[in-house]
Amino acid sequence: MSVQFHGTSLNISKNIGILGVDISSDVQFRGHLEDKVKLASKKLGVLNRANHCFTPDQRLMLYKSQIRPQMEYCCHLWAGAHKYQLESFDSLERRAMRVVDDPRLTSGIEPLSLRRDFASLCVFYCLYNGLCSEELFNITATVYHRTGRHRQVVHPHVLQPQWSRTAQFQRCFLSRTFRLWNELPAQVFPRDYSMGFFKRGVKRFLQGR
Sequence ranges of the domains in the chain = 29-109, 116-208
| Residue 71 three-state SS | helix
Q: How many alpha carbons lie under 13 Å from residue 77 in its C-beta half-sphere?
A: 17
Lowest mean pLDDT among 36-40, 91-95, 174-178, 191-195: 174-178
pLDDT surpasses 60 at 129: yes
Distance CA(159)–CA(174), nearest Å, equals 11
pLDDT range class, residue 51, cuts 50, 70, 90: confident
Selection from 14, 19, 8 nearest residue 30 by Cα: 14
Which pTM does this prediction carry? 0.77
